[in-house]
Amino acid sequence: MRRWVMILKLYEYLAKGILAKSGIPTPPGRLAMSPDEAAAVAAEIGAPVALKAQILAGGRGKAGGIRFADDPEQARAVAREMFGADLKGFRIDRLLVEKKLKIENEIYVGIAVDAAAKVPLLIASAQGGMSIEEVPEKAIVKRPIDITWGLYPYAAREVVRRLGLTGTPAKQVAEVMIKLYKVFRAYDAELVEINPLIVTAGKGPGEEEVIAADARLNVDDYAMFRHKDLPTVEEGTELERKVRAIGLSYVELDGDIAVMANGAGMAMATLDILSRYGGRPANFLDAGGGAAVEPTAQAIEVLLAQRPKAMLINIFGGITRCDDVARAILWVKQNRGIPVPLVVRLVGTNEAEGVRLLQEAGINAYKSLDEAAARVVAAAGEAQ
């Protein structure tokens, strides 16, 4: 059975706690585990406040995971609505209640591992507050960091200059970058980012403040033994965790065609080809590594439970045997039913036997992935 790597990915409130200890300013606030606690925090720090769902997913604001309240009673009412709600596949069970800040400017600052260059990479943009993937490349400043020497102040100042910052905010942002790199190294991070790093107006020129309004910290899996004091959280929605428990790698997407393939590379190629033909994959599912009949059948059942418009199973048999996959498909068909159009591409080890088993059950198996992809996209379109 394949080992699913646990990701040491911290909630925002935990990441902010580490940043605060490192000298990076964060908003006043603390965690609330109930509506009454949310009201108490609002009274303690003073309204207005922001109530922020603590989930391991980006885009919370657009999805309704960040809301505001003008007084403690409103904070209690808003918290009641948020607790227990589903947000991007996660159940909200904790809220970070923070002082609502007056924002003058938003900046993105992050440090990540550049896998190709094998060095830390400082990434910054004057267009903070949005996913860095959505920021135009020309608006992003990147600077590799020599891990032997670290991030020198002059290098941070150069990045800040390229962002167009001046005066007090420029000095403070440069200081945040240096401290952020120290966090990156101290915690063996894969990624540490502040988005947005906000600039408040202050009482006048020279009195602006730079504050980390959000924070993200992911620690390298292989360094977890050095950070046993940090809580580990398995990333993923309830469905993703369910499939991983079977021993398969699974990620939910937002399409309507369920996908199963053997091997991560094969699965990615399948998603790409589906997109080329105008299809919208509902998931990534790697059933490779010689998955047996039972877990394969369980995975098919889980995919069907999501009510896709069609399903594509793409198998290039090596360790995974085509006849085992065929038997898994037939078991589900006979015992649970397959209520959506099913398209199978079956090539490789025990191919002839797998194809024979499927054909006897009235299921056609394709050799060409392009042909299979075109067919399943058409089937999904007909199901609308």
Task: Give Cα 244 to chain centroid, integer Å.
Answer: 16
Residue of 251, 253, 256, 252 lying closest to 377 (CA atoms): 256
- Residue of 11, 13, 108, 187 marked catalytic: 108
Alpha-carbon distance of 59 to 56, in angstroms, equals 10
Residue 161, CA distances (Å) to 165, 171, 200, 208, 293 in order? 6, 10, 19, 17, 59
Please choose, from the candidates 62, 63, 198, 181, the residue with its C-alpha nearest in 3D space to the C-alpha of residue 128: 198
Burial of 298 (0-12, 13-18, 19+ CB in 10 A): buried
**How many CB atoms are located within 10 Å of the residue 228 CB?**
7
C-beta of residue 222 within 8 angstroms of C-beta of residue 262? no
Phi, psi of 357 (to 5 degrees): -60, -45
Report whether 313 contacts 345 (CB < 8 A).
Answer: yes
Q: Render the burial of 39-54: b for 16+ CB within 10 Å, e for the rest.
A: bbbbeebebebbbbbb
Nearest to 139 by CA among 130, 147, 148: 130
Quickly list DSSP for 83-152: TT-EETTEE---EEEEE----SEEEEEEEEEETTTTEEEEEEES--SS-GGGS-GGGEEEEE--TTT---
Catalytic residue selected from 12, 98, 175, 193:
193
For the question of residue 13 being annotated catalytic, the response is no
Q: Is 175 a catalytic residue?
A: no
3-state secondary structure of 374: helix
Are the C-beta atoms of 250 and 285 separated by less than 8 Å?
yes
The structure tokens listed for 97 are: 């209640």
Query: Which residue numbers are catalytic?
Result: 108, 193
